[in-house]
Amino acid sequence: MIDLRSDTLTQPTPAMREAIASATVGDEQKREDPTVNELERRGAEFLGHEEAVFLPTATMANQIALQILGRPGDALLVERHAHIMLSELGGPAAHSGLLTIGLEGTKGRFSPDQVVSEIRDRTSVHVAPTRIVTVENTHNSAGGRAWPLGEIDAIVATCREHDLAVHLDGARLVNAAVACGVPTARIAGAFDAVTICFSKGLGCPLGALIAGSHELMQAARRGKHFFGGAMRQAGIVAAAALYALEHNVDRIADDHARARRLGEGLLDAGVNVDLEQVETNFVQIDVGPDRGDAIDRMKQNGVLVSTTVHPTVVRAVTHLDITDDDIDEAIAAIPAALTRDQSRSVSQA
Ligand SMILES: Cc1ncc(COP(=O)(O)O)c(C=O)c1O
């Protein structure tokens, strides 16, 4: 089976398992785990910040970021299909008392004018003051789209001008950096707080970082404990993340090239793919209204894909465990599955 549902599905490689097995560990809560400490040092550098804090998941990193950047009753601005909005169970309201306002995005992005138009009067005794803006890059539900650097710079500048905290949900930041051809720190360094995930394109079993200033990361360490994320011999997992920083960053370009080839191959075979959307490791395929059936038929042909927020669209995501041969097979199997679909619906008509 060629599993293109998500880049979260990677299995740790033998070399990563070797790094895990030989990790030196200690009590992470006491800051005595040398492998976690090294990951936090390297991670801070990688993200262009003073300090980083190791966490089990990117969801926890996002929730901690929002809690430490705002106060209960504040408003958070985020694109309306962002992970924070759709897939974190209303966490900003539940954990941090934030009012989340969804901005209408284009390709997962929004403009400085949209931010400015949602800024509320902080002296009012009625309205929730806008305090935090989150940017998601790459943007998952927009199809792994990457923000152009100039647009990020403009959002950050607007936030600075209006005294708004700015957070980057960079769960797939490495994909964004590779797509833009810049170091991760060039994108992440300008934000107040940054989330990055190790269990997606970087191929680790779990793990995430939040990064920011020393002062903010002191608050993040309290948040980590508060959310139940302070661990013990976590170097076992941090060793995988260190391995990934060393070996799995540059190779993300291969995932992007494979996604591109998949998109081109499918388009050539008459499948409804918009190549302009294929900027990183996601290929969005419009299969029409009978999406569930299309997914089943692809599965029968040996390819797994997943749904998206768009009712007729499925996504195929390339990752560490997908080879060139898998792409060739998928280019043959997906159109065959969809063609059977079309002929069936014609004969039913
Ligand atoms: C943009 C984005 N942010 C955050 C997350 C959460 O990651 P985790 O599964 O590590 O909590 C995801 C997961 O898919 C994501 O796509």
Say whether pLDDT at 342 is over 60.
no
Ligand 1 pocket member 140 (CB < 6 A): yes
Average pLDDT over residues 299-313: 97
First to last CA, the chain: 32
Confidence of residue 340 (pLDDT cuts 50, 70, 90): low
Atom of ligand 1 nearest to the CA of 62: 4
Is the CB of residue 57 below 6 angstroms from any atom belonging to ligand 1?
yes
pLDDT digits (tens, 9 = 90+) for 213-262: 999 999 999 999 999 999 999 999 999 999 999 999 999 999 999 999 99
pLDDT tens sequence across 1-20: 999 999 999 999 999 999 99
Ligand 1 proximity of 281 Cβ (cutoff 6 Å): no
Helix (H, G, I), strand (E, B) or coil at 139: strand
> How does pLDDT run across 64-119, given as a tens digit for each residue?
999 999 999 999 999 999 999 999 999 999 999 999 999 999 999 999 999 999 99
Average pLDDT over residues 189-215: 98
d(CA 307, CA 294): 11
* Full-model pTM: 0.96
Domains of the chain: 8-247 (3.40.640.10), 251-338 (3.90.1150.10)
Query: Quick one: pLDDT at residue 121?
Result: 86
* pLDDT band of 349, cuts 50, 70, 90: very low
What is the whole-number distance in angstroms between the Cα of residue 323 and the centre of ligand 1?
A: 24
Ligand 1 atom at minimal distance to the Cα of residue 57: 10
Nearest atom in ligand 1 to the alpha carbon of residue 61 is 11
Alpha carbon distance 334, 58 (integer Å): 31
DSSP 54-82: EES-HHHHHHHHHHHH--TT-EEEEETTS
pLDDT tens for 37-67 read 999 999 999 999 999 999 999 999 999 999 9
* Average pLDDT score over residue span 130-143: 97
343, pLDDT greater than 70: no
Q: What are the residues facing 212 on neighbouring strands?
A: 51
Nearest to 149 by CA among 110, 187, 191, 190: 187
In angstroms, what is the span from residue 83 Cα to ligand 1's centroid? 7
Strand-pair category, 306-307 with 75-79: unpaired
**Tokens (6 digits) for 336:** 């065959």
Mean pLDDT of the chain: 96
Which of 314, 223, 224 minimizes the C-alpha distance to 266?
314
* CA-138 nearest atom, ligand 1: 1
Q: Tell whether omega for the bond before 138 is within 30 degrees of 0, i.e. cis.
A: yes
Residue 122 binned pLDDT confidence (cut-offs 50, 70, 90) = confident
**Residue 63, ligand 1, Cβ within 6 A:** no
Confidence of residue 347 (pLDDT cuts 50, 70, 90): very low
Any idea what the Cα angle at residue 259 is, between residues 308 and 15, rounded to 5°?
Answer: 105
